[in-house]
Structure 1
Amino acid sequence: MTQNGNFKRRVRARAPKTGESYTAALRHIRQASGHDTSPNHTDTQSLRLAVAQTSLFSDPRDGTALRSSGVEIRRLMREADKEGARLIHFPEGATCSPNKRIMSQSGPENIGPSDWTRFDWAVLGEELEEIGRLARELGLWAVFGSVHRLTPPHRPHNSLYVVSDRGELVTRYDERMLSNTKISFMYSPGKGPVTFEVEHLRFGCALGMEAHYPEIFTEYERLDVDCVLFSTTGEIPSAAPPFAAEALGHAASNTYWVSYAAHAPQSVAIPAGIAAPDGRWKAQCPADGAPALIVTDISVDRKHPARPWRRTARSDLYEAQKIDGDPRSDARNSF
């Protein structure tokens, strides 16, 4: 860990001097030291990834709570940096996951259209700026859930912000497959998939209840992602196992990594973790209901045959070899 820390300090020292991004400075120093991992040098790429489980903040009217969520996010970012992570992944609504009853104009007894004027947008904006500044300071990518405000009367998006190691918002993923309550009363749906690259690895984003929809994950396989960052929320532990099981299944069926980030209250059932392409957990946070993170290396072998074969199998490979006829008429009453 000390060696890795010294290496990162060299990268940070070079970047401001040359005007390069953290990634460009990292690549230069690796080349100079004979440790280049670009596609021209190896068929295996790797990245140190952190996944976090955070406290659940559900009242967007409470500016103090919004600030506390920002403090917690930044504390975990610093911990991830000390462990050598290049990217840290947070749950849905890591800054705040507004409760539908708190937001309801006719609530809390009845759930109706959300009143987004209740959200302390000014405090949220300040916390987002602080997160970006720390990402730049650490040279760390951060992906975290937040509400994204749109011009009224449009409802906001439920989003994942992708902040680069230069502290810039490089892209945003908006949840597409919203729940009945979300689409009826709370949010505007997103329009499409989002991918981005860090260290020659391509990431995709999924959010909320989208683990229930395999088409979201097969779409990312077609887009050549190496890892899907799936962020969800929740305070009821009993809701966690189906999502976690689906995360493992998507990893195995698509032969890529899946990072599963949920809020800490659910960890007593299933903690946040990183699912490997073999459909097993590579690493998981503690199952104690407390905020935490886990860090591990994810790697991709470009020559591994499983993924190309599955793509071939999903094409029209079998059509030419199918035999015409009704299988019921060919049974001949025997095996």
Structure 2
Amino acid sequence: MTGADRIRIAAVQTEVTTDPAVNGRAVRDALRQAADGGARLAHLCEGALSGYVGQDKPHFDGWHIDWAPVHDELHAVTQLAGELGMWVVIGGNHRLTGERWPHNSLWFINDRGELVDRYDKRWCSNTEVTRFYTPGTEVRTFDVDGFRFGCLLCIEVNFPELWLQQQALDVECVLFSTFSEDPIFDVLARGHAAANGFWVSVAVPAQHADAMPSGVIGPHGYRITSAESGQRPAVVCVDLDRTDPDLDIALHKARPWRRVARSGTLYPTAPADDPRSIDRTVI
């Protein structure tokens, strides 16, 4: 469903293995479900296509990985995205040159089946940055049907400055992909959504869904939709609707007011000239 003030997205929850071929089949099945649900964009978790080092460190240690299946599966996903006429944001390991560790990335695929951009996780964990991944350096956003999307990955949920950066770039929905099984990530994501007045789509692997299921958080900080409980694959579709009366305060009052407040023009910068304000010991 699309419109001037509305877009339908799908938060996708697949079981992620270390076999790109297995992952790719699960992803393509989920994308067809998302398209059947009317989604214009499908959002998948960290490592959804290639697998992720999280619980499978021994498999990835040393990166003696056959990259050909990753390439083949990514090509198959891009081709299907074009057939379905749907944008896809999907996580995976992005190969670098020679012996360099890969990026932990989100690939952006447009509705014509073209790989148009990529977000590389910038703030990696200590284990990631010392053993597995090369950090990225750039924030990336993209627009679909007049809505601006941004992306963050996993541990980046812990850094408010990264979320404030999204707000400053006029992002309306942050696509938050993770492999975490820590339920506090859901609390943090909801807080960032409410503090910044944007939607947050959450995509996790099915095996970790008990801690934080895939779904979409509204600009008011409450979940609009979530996958059903249980460690099962799921596709949940929801409209991001700027005209939703339940979101009026969050979108059209709180968000612009906070922007003015952060600009420094709303509050005085010079000390008060009232002596009873200056003297902090007076009663």
Is the 1:133–1:167 contact (alpha carbons within 8 Å) kept by the matching residues of 2? yes
Offset, 1:332: 2.7
The secondary structure found in structure 2 opposite 1:171 is strand
The question of 1:251 aligning with 2:193 is answered yes
Deviations 1:18-73 (CA, angstroms, capped at 9, x unpaired) = xxxxxxxx8xxxxxxxxxx44xxxxxx1100100111121x3xxxxx321100000
1:297-317 alpha-carbon deviations (Å, 9 max, x no partner)? 012259812211101111222
Letter matched to residue 201 of structure 2: S
For 1:268-300, what per-residue CA distance to the aligned partner results, in whole angstroms no more than 9, with x for missing partners?
A: 232111000000000001111011111010122
1:53·1:272 contact (CA, 8 Å) conserved in 2? Answer: yes
5 Å matches for 1:20-35?
Answer: none
Give, in whole Å, the separation in 2 of the partners of 1:121 and 1:85. 30
Aligned residue among 249, 262, 270 for 2:212: 270
Query: Quick check: 1:47–1:297 contact (8 Å CA) kept in 2?
Result: yes
Structure 1, gaps ≥5 residues long: 5-25, 27-36, 39-44, 60-64, 105-114
Match of 1:284 among 206, 217, 226: 226
1:183 aligns with 2:125: no
Distance in 1 separating the partners of 2:211 and 2:123: 24
Q: Name the aligned partner's letter for residue 97 of structure 1.
A: Y
In structure 2, relative to structure 1, the CA distance for the partners of 1:320 and 1:122 (3 Å cut) is closer
Aligned to 2:21: 67
Q: Following superposition of structure 1 onto structure 2, how do residues 90-129 of structure 1 map, counting pairs within 5 Å?
A: 90-95=44-49, 96-98=51-53, 99-104=56-61, 115-116=62-63, 118-129=64-75
Q: Distance in 2 between matches of 1:276 and 1:133?
A: 31
Where 2:228 maps in the other structure, the secondary structure is: coil
Q: Which aligned runs of 4 or more in structure 1 are off by greater than 3 angstroms?
A: 324-331
Structure 2 contact 272–278 (Cα < 8 Å) conserved: no
C-alpha deviation, 1:120, in angstroms: 1.8
Distance (whole Å) between structure 2 residues aligned to residue 133 and residue 147 of structure 1: 19
Aligned twin of 2:143: 197
Question: Is 1:149 the counterpart of 2:98 in the alignment?
Answer: no
Residue deviations 1:86-105, cap 9 Å, x none? 0000000001113222233x
Aligned to 2:6: 46
Does residue 87 of the first structure (1) align with residue 87 of the second (2)? Answer: no
Distance 2:32 2:85 in 1: 11
1:8 maps to none
Distance 1:326 1:266, change over 3 A: farther
Q: What RMSD over aligned residues (CA atoms) do the two structures have, in Å?
A: 1.9
1:307-322 mapped onto 2 (5 Å cutoff): 307-316=255-264, 317-320=266-269
2:235 partner SS:
strand
Instruction: Report how far residue 319 of structure 1 moved.
Output: 1.9
User: In structure 2, how many angstroms separate the alpha carbons of the residues matched to 1:68 and 1:102?
Assistant: 16
> Which structure would you say has the larger Rg?
1
- Which whole-Å CA distance do the structure 1 matches of 2:169 and 2:226 have between them? 27
CA contact (8 A) 1:211 1:246 kept: yes
Q: Secondary structure at the match of 1:91?
A: coil
Aligned-pair distance for 1:202?
0.3
Shift in Å, 1:153: 2.5
Q: Distance in 1 between matches of 2:194 and 2:52?
A: 30
Per-residue deviation, 1:188: 0.7
Secondary structure at 2:260 match in 1:
helix
Matched, 1:134 2:80: yes
Deviations 1:130-172 (A, max 9, x none): 1011000000111010100011122110000010000101110
Structure 2: gaps (5+ residues): none
Give, in whole Å, the separation in 1 of the partners of 2:168 and 2:280.
38
TM-score in terms of structure 1 length: 0.77
Q: CA deviation at 1:329?
A: 3.5
Alpha-carbon separation, structure 1, partners of 2:184 and 2:278: 38
Aligned twin of 1:332: 282
- Say whether the 8 Å CA contact 1:226–1:300 is kept in structure 2: no
Task: Give the one of 146, 170, 173 matched to 2:116.
Answer: 170
The structure 1 residue matched to 2:184, chosen from 224, 242, 266, is: 242
